[in-house]
Amino acid sequence: MPVRYSRDMRGYGPNPPHPQWPGNAKVAVQFVLNYEEGGENCVLHGDAASEAFLSDIPGAAQWEGQRHWNMESIYEYGARAGFWRLHRLFTGAGIPLTIYGVATALARSPEQVAAMKSAGWEIASHGLKWVEHKDMAEVDERACIAEAIRLHTEVVGEPPRGWYTGRCSANTVRLVAEQGGFDYISDTYDDDLPYWAEIGSHDQLIIPYTLEANDMRFATAPGWVTGDDFGRYLIDAFDTLYAEGEAGRPAMMTVGLHCRLVGRPGKIAGLKRFIEHLQSHPDVWCPRRIEIAEHWAATHPPMRFERPSQMSQARFVELYGGIFEHSPWIAERAFEQELGPAHDSAAGVHNALSRAFRRATEAERLDVLKAHPDLAGKLASAGKLTTESTSEQAGAGLDLLTDEERAIFTQLNTDYVTKHGFPFIIAVRDHDKASILAAFHRRIGNERETEFAEACRQVERIAEFRLSDLLP
């Protein structure tokens, strides 16, 4: 099997699905509050060093084998004061939150957990501990996922339905999906809409998260300096998405928050202004993440199709070997390229086939041109065209020529082949009978080099149409 590229650079392509948000909302704005305080790196938690990530200490570094008193107290502020300030803000605004709760942090914060549940907030899993996972062995990460679910269930009273590790590994999404039981996973940042990921035989809903509409940038460079920086960015993002929704392309906006960051008085002011701004607009949906998952599963259930990048060579050639007329070798060579999810579409396969065609020698490309039938020629009259060519010529009315028109086409075909050495080729779906004849008269006088290049372009255009009949 040739090398296959696993990253998906296509997504929904140029035509994403209409989300059909409840109430015909123009945008879905979803707020996540990360609850990590008490789950961060700390020698009291059995970790080798102190925490160094996402705090108000510039350039913080881990202290090996030592407690970092300042870092610990900053995290404690998030639990002791920041959480409650945010709790008052969102319950007062009537906007429900999704909590990304680190299981060990939740276990150390019973009053906050009770307040989350009383407010009707969703408590999703944020992993077992707020630590890096990039160097974890798969067996260890799998064990941490299982323990996070067990502890979360014990502390909250029910298992989490959503998952976001955050400081994840390349294996996280697959391992969580394999664990099963999750309505959604959010360890991606790659879209404005949810989507289904095919992980083995399992269809896993992905609801992408955000690192840009996120208060973490108060603790990174470049980042927010004042609350107004954050609020202004959120307002601009919302206004753009709201306008797109009014134009018929609704999407989703996620806002990421942390108790110890935006929970500070000077930072939360910008968040308040943003909430006031979005609540001044009609047709805005502010759900929990689980409600987005339920809506998407009901409105856009997973639909699998046969993916070119996952086919055997025999199947790939069987389906696409006739796209370039009587030239299956083009599909054979295209299959050897680095195909991936971006090629699981008409445009993707067309690009792969065209690259193989363009790399071919001039003699090989000439053979492809010669494999094409004359327009309205003897093969058409005898009913010996390929199914695709028959349909294409009929679509342009070339199966209903008068005797006079057929005589004109026959003479033009003869003159063209005599001059250029290959049949006249044109993507008839771009034309009608009159414009085909006009192009015939115009192109027959071209130099052979010019006409060879044009014929090759037309072959690729014909392939584009044929693939659009088969693939998204």
Structure tokens that stand for 349 in this block: 């396969």
Cα separation, 469 vs 457, in Å, equals 19
Give me the phi and psi of 107, to 5 degrees please.
Answer: -65, -25
DSSP 99: E
Distances (CA, A) of 464 to 348, 354, 458: 10, 9, 10
Per the omega criterion (within 30 degrees of 0), is the bond before 194 cis? no
Q: What is the distance in angstroms between the CA of the first residue and the CA of the last residue of the chain?
A: 24
Q: Which helix (H) or strand (E) holds 177?
A: helix 172-179
- Those residues whose C-beta lies under 8 Å from the C-beta of residue 87, and which sit 6 or more positions away, are 115, 119
Cα separation, 279 vs 116, in Å, equals 22
Q: Is 350 noted as a catalytic residue in this protein?
A: no
Strand-pair partners of 285: 28
DSSP codes joined into one string, 309-324: GGS-HHHHHHHHTTSS
Please name the amino acid found at residue 123: I
Owner of token pair 């350039």? 59
Please name the amino acid found at residue 296: W
- Those residues whose C-beta lies under 8 Å from the C-beta of residue 128, and which sit 6 or more positions away, are 39, 102, 103, 104, 144, 145, 147, 148, 151
CB atoms near residue 339 (< 10 Å): 24
Q: Are 297 and 33 in contact (CB under 8 A)?
A: no
- Angle at 354 (CA atoms; ends 348, 360), nearest 5 degrees: 145
Task: Answer left, alpha or beta for residue 17, where phi above 0 means left and psi between -120 and 50 means alpha.
Answer: beta
Owner of token pair 């057929």? 406
Of 152, 295, 372, 420, the catalytic one is 372
Please name the amino acid found at residue 74: I
State the catalytic residues.
372
